[in-house]
A and B are shown apart, each in its own frame.
Chain A
């Protein structure tokens, strides 16, 4: 029993940054914009958060640190927004570039913070609880509010949304910025809470797991909660079951990616793109079909 409780605690702890980043990605993908730059935005958020939390000598303000991380993520995302929404460039290419630019910039700017210990460490649970509440809130917004309907229609059929008088670029910008802010927050969780310090490359590919989680949970915020916990559990079990399970534990480490492929294959067989929004990845240009 204690073992199960502990495994669940680990799954929640590791799943929290996945869930936060995944919710951000769902938000902007629902509005029709893919942003593969999650890893880069997380790195920038992790650095900005740590820098502010460290302050002058480990005495910075934690609340401000979280805000700074979200701001850093949002600003980086706006760059992606400008390139893909205003300039209508390829979203996948721009996102990939953002992931690399984000990691590189954070590594460069973060030099002076490397190896510094953080003394005022916030607890984990408020972040976990907040992330779950955010999932519920997003779900409510998507399916029970006018704003959610507008966002979704911009992602499904921007031409129709435009005809109805919705401002497609504005809605997409807002969604992209919010998605970036959440990726930044996920980064702050890593550098302030999960392992309170800053080092280059500390996001360790979690951003990519979050991106694949979006597909795994079929763009549903509520399912994202369970998906994140499930992925977190798999990650923990690869260590917990090492030497004790009949199957090699490396299988657990690769399962998240295998499952995403499986989900994509299954939805492909059923002749649909998962639950992907119709206009996902397509720039919208007025008057063009």
Chain B
């Protein structure tokens, strides 16, 4: 009894002194690309603007096109400008964000897509892997050549996870189809994305998907009447006849949650060591769609309803399967997950035993790729 009481006093003291609520909550965002990329950075900025509207008393600031090597210097500048929560929104900012967190122990840091944390640094991610599987189903149903092209930024776990989920979906519909990957080694390079997409089409890929921060692949594919999938934002407007579906993100739900918890004192610069947001469709952080509110482009509905696949020995239309799974992953307790064993990698090594699902940690450290993925994959375990 006495112990609880003294603990209570201690906590009250701690709340009163060490972690006095910031009177002015100023959240600052460090972006890796230009806001106008219509991809990753644009999506984060939409989240920032939504958070500013949703939370009274919040002011925000951002710095765009920051080189990873300049992260620490940028943080210093922002802290001097009065920022008390700093979001660093690229994997490559990870190490310098950690360094900055040590240097500024009273500032709260939040790093997107990484795995290093500190008492004043949390991590967060809105992940697409489930949505990628659904897009894979559609790509598998729509490809005539059995070759689906994929323009990929960097061979890191995030992309391997997404490409693998996509390939698992493609193969669930068309077991002989391949997902052909071209790496461009850049997050933001319209020129490289264009030439990589052209190369994929020259090799006979008749559906394209991508991870890169611009709508270049969609524009390039549409010129050759090749269907493609939107990435990160509503890219439907760039080719209304050719964008089948895609993966969309809403960072605002995460930003609002984090900032509200900072504002009401739940999050302090001392208790974030184990805070990791891994938000999916269930939390409404990600969506399926060619644009918000359009899970599947009506132009492709008929073809997807006609295409069939076998699920547990029964024939179902691909359209229904996509919708069924999409409903499941949005429910409070999803039953289905694309990385449910048994899953072997493309070299035949059993990676997920039967009946088990991959953990978040495993997904974050994934270096192998699923069967059907064609092309060189750096750091792939043999």
Contact = CB atoms under 8 A, between A and B. Distances in A.
Nearest to A248: B376
Contact of A235 (B182, B188, B195, B238): B195
A7 B201 CA distance: 12
Interface in A1-49: 3, 6-7, 10, 13-14
Interface residues of A, number: 31
A222 interface: no
B238 A117 contact: yes
A243 B35 CA distance: 33
A236 interface: yes
B219 A200 contact: no
A195 interface: yes
A194 B36 contact: no
Contacts of B188: 201
Contact of B34 (A107, A235, A240, A242): A107
A66 B113 CA distance: 42
Contacts of B37: 114-115, 199
Contacts of B34: 107, 114, 199-201
Contact of B198 (A107, A198, A204, A236): A236
A103 to B, nearest CB: 11
Nearest to B200: A239
A199 B195 contact: no
A289 B375 CA distance: 61
Interface in B330-375: 374-375
Given A201-B188, A235-B195, A239-B196, A6 B202 contact: yes
Given A3-B202, A114-B36, A243 B376 contact: yes
Contacts of A200: 34, 36, 65
A197 B195 contact: no
Q: Is the interface of B mostly helix, strand, loop or mixed?
A: helix
Given A195-B190, A199-B190, A236-B199, A243 B36 contact: no
Nearest to B194: A195
Interface string B45-83: 000000000000000000001000000000000000000
Interface in B152-196: 182-184, 188-192, 194-196
Interface string A231-269: 000011011101100000000000000000000000000
A202 interface: yes
B38 interface: yes
B247 interface: no
Contacts of A240: 199, 202-203
B89 interface: no
Contacts of A14: 191, 195
B237 interface: yes
Contacts of A199: 34, 36-38, 190, 214
Nearest to A206: B191
B182 A239 contact: yes
A206 B195 CA distance: 14
A196 to B, nearest CB: 7
Contact of B375 (A10, A202, A243): A243
A111 interface: yes
Nearest to B36: A114
A199 B166 CA distance: 29
Contacts of B195: 10, 14, 235-236, 238-239
Closest 4 CB pairs of A and B: A114-B36, A200-B34, A239-B199, A243-B376
16 contacts: A6-B202, A7-B202, A10-B198, A10-B202, A14-B191, A114-B34, A114-B38, A115-B36, A194-B194, A195-B190, A195-B220, A199-B214, A204-B189, A206-B191, A239-B182, A240-B203
Interface of B: 34-38, 42, 65, 182-184, 188-192, 194-196, 198-199, 202-203, 214-216, 219-220, 237-238, 374-376
Given A206-B191, A240-B203, 15 more contacts: A110-B36, A115-B37, A194-B191, A199-B36, A199-B37, A200-B34, A200-B65, A204-B189, A204-B191, A236-B195, A236-B199, A239-B182, A239-B192, A239-B198, A243-B376
Interface of A: 3, 6-7, 10, 13-14, 107, 110-111, 113-115, 117, 194-202, 204, 206, 235-236, 238-240, 242-243
